[in-house]
Structure 1
Amino acid sequence: MDSLLRLLAVKPRLLALGEPTHQENDLLRVRNGLFRELVEQEGYRAIALESDCLMGLVVDDYVTQGVGELDEVMARGFSHEWGGLAGNRELVEWMRAFNEGREDPVRFAGFDGPLEITGPASPRQVFTTLHTYLATWLDADLLPCTADALDALLGSDERWINPDTMMDPTQSIGRTPEADRLQLLAGELTALADTQAPYLIAQASREAWDRARLYARTCSGLMRYHYWMADTSDRRIARLLAQRDLMMAENLLDLVDRGPTLVFAHNSHLQREQSTLNMAGANHNWWSAGALVNARLGQDYAFFATALGTMRHHEVDTPPADTIEGVLYTQDHQLVDPKALTGPLKPRVSPWFGYAALHPDHLPSIDGIVFVKDVNPS
């Protein structure tokens, strides 16, 4: 495939590649090939996936330093069961082999929060890890609380991860006095890491401080997510969706400060348009991570959307001729300039809930389309 960058006036610091569905190895292998080209020919230094940002540290340690065994890394380093996909395993294997003996390794990152469909994680891990890091290097009187006081505020993890909370906000503890205090502590611990940055970096390392800042962002993000889990208004779902994408955007903005990065996630998380979800008969609108990052980076952000022709194992058959996918299905091109798609086009209607076709109204905000004609079963 031609380089994605040929469609752009400048090389972006953050190049986004979206997918219209999840868990399809054909799409992951297209991603892997494009990432290799960006690393070997364009100097890109990292890839970020729609996976837990904390779990991703396990993968980064493996691909950069060879820490751990591959099977364990795939099991512990990905959320959403992404570690079981052959395409992701092949990516990790290639990155480890590429980095062997290099002083400036290519990095791996998850950029999603520690969130699952059933709800957010307990904030214990992020709070205790951040507190331990600060307590190791700083005088105790600088810290806003002791480890024991923090443990008492956190209480049992079961209260935080109660799956019934997703459907019943009254069961959430996200607006209790303890949660309010933890939100304040998240800000105070973050401020301490920032105000003591020169000392902390000199005593430990820049790498350790960067990871502490990741834990700090996640502390605040998780507490805001738990706060909105307890919301009983009609805006609850939209606020939860917006908070998740805000956490994603914050992680991406941190990553691009360290070098050109490819981010791979669902099109809906990376698009510049406002995202929409229909749930329980109501439409929920929010700005995606891509829209938020684009507002900050401008031309340093580029978005390429992946489109597909057929996915017959999910009853997604030959696309209608008057859709984006239908026009592309008659061609052999894999990389398409959206400006070349002219004439009246209709939205493609998917027979399967797990696949979202490109909308013609979004074409002006897409920098390029990567087209995969036929997707085979993974």
Structure 2
Amino acid sequence: MKLLPARPRLLALGEPVHGEAALPEARNELFRQLVEREGYRTIALESDCLAGLVVDDYVTSGAGSLDRTMAHGFSHEWFNVSEANRDLVRWMRAYNEGRPASERIRFAGFDGPLEITAAASPRQALTALHGHLSARVDTHLLPCTAEALDELLGPDARWTDPAAMTDPGRSAGQTAQAKELRLLADDLTALLDTQPPHPLTSAARHEWERARLYARTATGLLRYHFRMADTSPGRMAWLVGLRGQMMAENLLALAERGPVLVHAHNSHLQRNKSTIHMGGPPVEWWSAGAIVSAHLGAKYAFLATALGTLRHQGVGTPPPDTVEGLLYALPEDRGLIDTLRLTAALGDTRPAPRVSPYFGYAPLDPAHLDGSDGILFIKDVPEN
């Protein structure tokens, strides 16, 4: 906290590679300290925002079991098998046991229901949003019935076909039904915005927040599916940009609750433009971190994580003229580096970029050091 100009609403901890146990273990340690010393009450991970509701229900009220929560509460193949994630969920449930609702810590996924090869059907989000409203408003205000919504959605398989990622013609996103669903999602969202929680109890606000999440997810998914059917050269830039927007909207909503620790890949949290290589020309987009930083200013803080070695993945000792090489020469096995002091010490020069032999690990970009507030450096990452 001494590195930061103000106490952030969103403290973002990035990681340069997924699936390495040492990184979420460090995240867990940081979150425990933030809860116990700084009053943080929410952690948000790069995981499906709707699946994350299963985890939140378990850690806050004990709904379900730990095994069921791990099986159904996370997206991405490495999350639900992660022992560090299991430890996090177990600790959060134990912490909340016996505490009043106002003191419980919360879990959230902030990614859309998206994978790199597919996107979810909008059914869950749209039907949940419709159900929330139908229980609270006059029927004549609803733009459609639940049965009409179901008929327009059709089979989920037409939405989730993995082939649509590489073949726009396989996407359902620009059919007549999908276009009508986009209008209905917009109407349902507008109707929700006219219905604040009443009476303003914690339970009513909780349900309203979930309905807002369903609304964001429904409209975001339908936009995403529309662009999956796009054949223009900007298709991939649209897709990664829309994913970043969905992430950012979820993070801004979480920030309304109070201070949040966010954990995701560095590329989703940095303030500078992000780049991804997917077989063709590199695709650039403004990440969730860049969007949130523009909204929150000093209330957003980003700590990038950098690694020295990842020997089991072929990443050896970093060259001494790289950022990682300079940090590797320090005596500590793990440390937090003040980016301002580091850039001041470097002056007008910048270290050489590090080249990783392992595609899954993204080294720091020395040209963008000033885009972070600090660097968590882990010298040697052991094999899981």
TM over 0.5: yes
Q: Is 1:85 the counterpart of 2:82 in the alignment? A: yes
Q: Is 1:160 the counterpart of 2:156 in the alignment? A: no
Q: Is 1:370 the counterpart of 2:376 in the alignment? A: yes
Please report how far the alpha carbon of residue 48 of structure 1 lies from its aligned counterpart in structure 2 after TM superposition: 0.2
| Unmatched 5+ stretches in structure 2 | none
Contact residue 197 and residue 204 of structure 2 kept, 8 A: no
Contact residue 322 and residue 344 of structure 1 kept, 8 A: no
Q: Summarize deviations over 1:185-239 as a string: whole Å, max 9, x none.
A: 1111111111012448679711111101100000000000001001101111111
Q: What SS does the aligned partner of 1:335 have?
A: strand
Q: Which residue of 1 aligns with 2:108?
A: 109
Q: Supply the AA of the counterpart residue of 1:336.
A: I
Q: What SS does the aligned partner of 1:372 have?
A: strand
Separation of aligned partners in 1, 2:166 and 2:201 = 47
Separation of aligned partners in 1, 2:277 and 2:31 = 33
Superposition map of 1:269-288 within 5 A? 269-288=268-287
Q: Which residue of 1 aligns with 2:292?
A: 293
Contact residue 18 and residue 305 of structure 1 kept, 8 A: yes
Please report how far the alpha carbon of residue 158 of structure 1 lies from its aligned counterpart in structure 2 after TM superposition: 1.1
Q: Which residue of 2 aligns with 1:126?
A: 125
Q: Which moved more, 1:204-213 or 1:110-119?
A: 204-213
Task: Name the TM-score, length of structure 1 as normaliser.
Answer: 0.97
Separation of aligned partners in 1, 2:195 and 2:276 = 42
Q: Summarize deviations over 1:62-105 as a string: whole Å, max 9, x none.
A: 11111111011011100002011011111111111111111120
Q: Which residue of 2 aligns with 1:145?
A: 144
Separation of aligned partners in 1, 2:367 and 2:91 = 37
Q: Supply the AA of the counterpart residue of 2:24.
A: L
Task: Name the TM-score, length of structure 2 as normaliser.
Answer: 0.95
Q: Percent of pairs identical after alignment?
A: 61
Segments of 4+ in structure 1 off by > 6 A?
Answer: none
Q: Which residue of 1 aligns with 2:92?
A: 95
Q: What is the RMSD computed on CA atoms of the aligned residues?
A: 1.3
Contact residue 238 and residue 284 of structure 1 kept, 8 A: yes
Size of the alignment, in residue pairs?
A: 374
Q: Is 1:216 the counterpart of 2:222 in the alignment? A: no
Q: Which residue of 1 aligns with 2:236?
A: 237
Contact residue 42 and residue 107 of structure 2 kept, 8 A: yes
Separation of aligned partners in 2, 1:222 and 1:154 = 13
Q: Which residue of 1 aligns with 2:335?
A: 334
Q: Is 1:40 the counterpart of 2:36 in the alignment? A: yes
Contact residue 137 and residue 203 of structure 1 kept, 8 A: no
Q: Supply the AA of the counterpart residue of 2:58.
A: Y
Q: Among 8, 18, 30, which residue is 1:22 paired with? A: 18
Separation of aligned partners in 2, 1:297 and 1:29 = 28
| Unmatched 5+ stretches in structure 1 | none
Q: What SS does the aligned partner of 2:172 have?
A: coil
Contact residue 242 and residue 286 of structure 1 kept, 8 A: yes
